[in-house]
A and B are shown apart, each in its own frame.
Chain A
């Protein structure tokens, strides 16, 4: 598949590809410094690094997504990269069949969440800020270390995954905190905190009380 520049690749598409059953995805771009659009391949690398961290977190082997570089004149390098990658994927086997932390039907469900996370503006915006954060600093002029940037991305990965799971869990109607927590093995206290925060932000509203359980549902404009 050809795209104009690896920098144009939307990381959410990679999640959709895996969700549809792809076992491996190799993205080959130009060498750093050779980019026609100046920094496209740096951006690609930053995006894919975060996507790989996310896949690792949700339970897919991050090796399934690779970013390699070669120039259009290097046929032999290209062949080598592709051969190595296909070998690696053969070794891992089909998606969710032993080569990953989670097994298939559950993994596919998690990948749906991953797609929602990668499509969300929080993660996209912060990935886009990588270069300025490391070089000139944030809005306050504070420069990040690479380690710190990775931590910031990790924080968003973890929280967004939880939040997107909760929102997806509410898509089919009102549920209680306890019920939600049981369906995706998250500590109840944590779901409770997220529900309160989502309510504060206007994503979720309390619907009714059944027995001893207050039920929450998506705010009308979120459905």
Chain B
């Protein structure tokens, strides 16, 4: 569902963290040889304290402040939802604007480090009408990175996925280097044959982009400034690259056919 992606935004208040109430139980020796209920239930105090931990999530409070502020009176809470009954000869399913992607390996640091972002986020960042007006900045500190890595999130995602994600990675690099010619980009991903044959020659002419044909084994944060170490392993050798920001190439989730 929209507006409910994983790293959603929740307001922490004074009572965070607060311990979750544990269910009291009878002892193991009291259980032997009988079927007395093991869990004895919350006391009133425990229950109320636990209930008060609830964040009461609600989007749109329905307070109508926007309606009160709207001079042209465009906001109208009385416009109702509609239920439509329609008939069709054919149904075509395409990817909507959900942009959900296959789960990423935890080792890549997405969700752990603020300066590890997805290719979809990078795409928004590069857009002139995007949240940063096309300026590339690291969400970790709001500074312009000097060196970034674009890394493959699903090395086992199949050749089709490798091809389209590599092209996207190179395209994003082209755009990023155009915006900021001083930027250095490394693109770390196993290559597929088609990419190698068709697109590699042109890619190699790009100044500032280096391609490393390898899977990434891990991303770690190295210092207080948040510098990332991109670790790769080829045969038995491990190598590391230090960057200010990492962009993960994601694999879009397959579109689910509707249920009849």
Contacts and interface: CB of A to CB of B under 8 A. Distances in A.
Interface of A: 56-57, 121-122, 125-126, 129, 137-140, 142, 145, 147-148, 151-152, 154-155, 158-159, 176-178, 181, 188-189, 191-193, 195-196, 199-200, 206, 209, 212-214
B143 A189 contact: no
A147 to B, nearest CB: 6
B258 interface: no
B68 A152 contact: no
Q: Sort chain B's interface into a size bin.
A: 20 to 34
B224 to A, nearest CB: 11
Contact of A125 (B12, B52, B62, B65): B65
B61 interface: yes
A152 B63 CA distance: 11
B141 A126 contact: no
Closest 9 CB pairs of A and B: A177-B142, A138-B62, A139-B62, A148-B56, A151-B56, A212-B144, A155-B11, A189-B114, A192-B142
Given A148-B56, A148-B58, A158 B13 contact: yes
B65 A158 contact: no
Given A158-B11, A158-B13, A213 B144 contact: yes
18 contacts: A121-B69, A125-B63, A126-B61, A129-B63, A139-B62, A139-B63, A139-B67, A147-B51, A148-B58, A155-B11, A177-B141, A178-B141, A192-B141, A209-B144, A212-B143, A212-B144, A213-B144, A214-B143
Interface string B58-74: 10011111011100000
B155 interface: no
Given A152-B61, A176-B142, A176-B143, 12 more contacts: A57-B14, A138-B64, A148-B58, A151-B54, A178-B141, A178-B142, A188-B141, A191-B142, A192-B137, A193-B9, A196-B131, A212-B146
Interface in B1-48: 9, 11-14
Nearest to A128: B63
B11 A154 contact: yes
B142 A195 contact: yes
Contacts of B56: 145, 147-148, 151-152
A191 B69 CA distance: 26
Contacts of B139: 189, 192-193
B260 interface: no
B194 interface: no
Given A125-B63, A148-B58, A158 B142 contact: no
Nearest to B69: A121
A37 B140 CA distance: 52
